[in-house]
Structure 1
Amino acid sequence: MPLSSDQSVNETAGTLVKTLQGAFGTPAGYRPAHAKGRLTKGTFTPSQEAATLSTAPHFNNASTPILTRFSNSTGLHAIPDTDPNANPRGMAVRFLLSSDGHKHTDIIAHSTSHFPMRTGEGFLQMLGAIGGGTIGEFLAQNPSAKAFVEDPKPAPESFGTERYFGVTAFKLIDREGKETFVRYRIVPEAGYETLSEEELKGKGKDYLFEELEARLKSGLVSFKLMAQVAEEDDVTDDNTVHWPEERKQVELGTIEVEEMVGEKESKEEQQRIIFDPIPRVEGVDVSADPLLDMRAAIYLISGKERRAAASTA
């Protein structure tokens, strides 16, 4: 996983990492965003239609082992699950394509279909407006940021009853080279369930992680991996532009979360693992959305810092 070939992207990504760490006081060894999280193990089973859209191995093999990370927002590694700032929640899925775990591809999603800005530079300006006390003016001038802030983000009943959205577009490529632009959605098979403000008051600071562990002791937690399919004139290079909700959705397969990774092992692995927004696998390719290159650089810079902190701990 290399840094961007565009040095300006790397410089902005490095500034964003430092800005987020400073805003939250994030300790070494933790992510500057979505710092609080746990890893789980499971299996992905593709649908028959997935193989007609893409030659990617995880869409063609009978099944693929996966690692999944569920997380809260912010760089606060101990943020209570009940804190409104813990939304949006995150779900990252790693498809393990080799037995040694070195070959893989990832999907990164969060529990809102919105993202505040199209570019990393724009997001950095938004953070500056928050820190400078001018966020109201910034939101008035940037409708996408306003939509992200105002999008309802109720607390989920469970990580297993939350919906997760991949905001950037990708190309699925079939055996004839046909490209289909899609955005991923991860939909809970148990149904989408949230808590009222009154119900949330009775929950503990770690209720989501405790609930997930308890839920997995009594069975699997399953999701459908869906693809919202773009039509010819849909915008594919701007994550802030939504496609019409009536666009076709295709089921790509089933994500089955089977067990929690032990807390000690999870903490160590989370310092090591670097999820990658760029697919880097045959049969799936990037769109021209600039957020992909920026997020990949941010994750790599942050990941290298976490690994360095782990090696000196």
Structure 2
Amino acid sequence: MTHTTLRRALLGAALMLAAPAAVAQKALAQDASSTAEQTIAAMTKIFGDHPGKRSNHAKGVVVEGSFTPSKEAATLSKASVFSGAAVPVTVRFSDATGLPQIPDGAPEANPHGLSIKFKPADGAEMDVVTNSLKFFPVATGEEFRDLLVAITRSGPDAQKPSPVEQFMAAHPAAPRALATARTPSSFGRQTYNGVNAFVLIDAAGKRTPFRYRIVPVAGEEILSADDAKAKGPNYLVEEMPASLAKAPVSFRVLAQIAQPGDATKDATIPWPEDRRLVDLGTLTVTKAVPDSETAEKALLFMPNNLPDGVEVSDDPLIDARVQAYAISFGRRSQ
């Protein structure tokens, strides 16, 4: 990977659009006693301060629909979302970065995100947070913070090798993960992966570690770099509501089942493709919400918001994400 490609994959444009010095210094001068606070402060330095917006995946679109579980899902988990009845869902598709105006076709808008809030009748909600990377660049919250800090210190005038180049050399999974990011023709034509492992628990207490994989029923459709660049700046967030006005968009929600010895606590290690994929059900989005901007400000997707029958694994990134999301939500709610 060339230096130019690396900088683009690592939000090179974001560095050029980073917060003015006064804003950045203010962000990093805050009490950053926790890794999560340091992470959000670094994101603010990179992307700037955008009140009311997420620190990352700031640009998105909110839609609604339903999830219909498969019969096999109920054999793996006692959670009510898998019990048989269709469950209402709220879904948010998003671009990467904390830049609310980032062009949807920009390389820095990858990886795209898909977050789902399941709302069964018994109130036992479940959140699922996925993105289009095949695996994650780092294994811990501390490493993710360090990556962001390295980006803040790697502007055009940084001494070579720059801090981010040094980070990549020391964490070879990071450039490999970032290389899996691709731009789709539609949010509904991309595969999304749950890079963190979770655990399904059945009625007898049997525990099954797994990772989510959410696959478009219509198939993936990935654009070339030139075709993505030629698209309008908001083509993804505009295409989804327009598409839903004509017909629903569906995904298969799959569980990739771990085998003994598969790492559940390291999101940088993808499981082999021969691992069994269980069809948990079908996610069908049917309509855009009337006011996406208002809806997304109030939405909080937390990876540990789970019902009885689904639990977190030993992956430390899950708790790191929860803490960072909580800080980001608190700031945009002010």
TM-score when scaled to structure 2? 0.85
The question of whether the paired residues in 2 share the 8 Å contact of 1:10 and 1:297 is answered with no
Counterpart residue identity of residue 72, structure 2: E
Note closer, same or farther for the CA distance 1:138–1:223 as it changes in structure 2 (3 Å cut): same
Check if 1:271 corresponds to 2:297.
Answer: yes
Residue of structure 2 in register with 1:141 after alignment:
170
CA distance in 2, matches of 1:20, 1:73: 12
Q: CA RMSD in A?
A: 1.5
The question of whether the paired residues in 1 share the 8 Å contact of 2:257 and 2:278 is answered with yes
CA distance in 1, matches of 2:39, 2:131: 19
Check if 1:212 corresponds to 2:240.
Answer: yes
Length, aligned pairs only: 295
Counterpart residue identity of residue 207, structure 1: Y
Gapped runs of 5+ residues in structure 1?
Answer: 1-8, 309-313
Task: Give 1:172 shift.
Answer: 0.1
The question of whether the paired residues in 2 share the 8 Å contact of 1:41 and 1:258 is answered with yes
CA distance in 1, matches of 2:51, 2:246: 35
- Secondary structure of the residue aligned to 1:129 is helix
The question of whether the paired residues in 1 share the 8 Å contact of 2:196 and 2:267 is answered with yes
Residue of structure 2 in register with 1:299 after alignment:
325
Please list, as runs of the form range in 1=range in 2, the aligned pairs for 1:170-209 lying within 5 A after superposition.
170-209=198-237
Check if 1:111 corresponds to 2:132.
Answer: yes
CA distance in 2, matches of 1:127, 1:210: 30
Residue of structure 1 in register with 2:254 after alignment:
226
CA distance in 2, matches of 1:97, 1:22: 39
Residue of structure 1 in register with 2:49 after alignment:
26
Task: Give 1:98 shift.
Answer: 4.1
1:70 aligns with one of 77, 93, 100: 93
Check if 1:167 corresponds to 2:195.
Answer: yes
For residues 101-126 of structure 1, what are the alpha-carbon distances to aligned partners after superposition, in whole Å with 9 as ceiling and x for unaligned? x6521100001112111111111111
CA distance in 2, matches of 1:129, 1:233: 33
For residues 73-122 of structure 1, what are the alpha-carbon distances to aligned partners after superposition, in whole Å with 9 as ceiling and x for unaligned? 000011011211000000000001248xx652110000111211111111
Tell me the percent identity: 43
Task: Give 1:215 shift.
Answer: 1.1
Counterpart residue identity of residue 284, structure 1: V
TM-score when scaled to structure 1? 0.91
For residues 218-254 of structure 1, what are the alpha-carbon distances to aligned partners after superposition, in whole Å with 9 as ceiling and x for unaligned? 1000000000000011111111111111100000000
Counterpart residue identity of residue 125, structure 1: D
Note closer, same or farther for the CA distance 1:246–1:65 as it changes in structure 2 (3 Å cut): same
Task: Give 1:152 shift.
Answer: 3.4
Check if 1:121 corresponds to 2:149.
Answer: no
CA distance in 2, matches of 1:174, 1:242: 25
CA distance in 2, matches of 1:48, 1:33: 36
CA distance in 1, matches of 2:126, 2:258: 22
Residue of structure 2 in register with 1:3 after alignment:
none
Moved over 6 A (4+): none
Task: Give 1:40 shift.
Answer: 0.2
- Secondary structure of the residue aligned to 2:333 is helix
The question of whether the paired residues in 2 share the 8 Å contact of 1:26 and 1:76 is answered with no
1:288 aligns with one of 314, 319, 328: 314
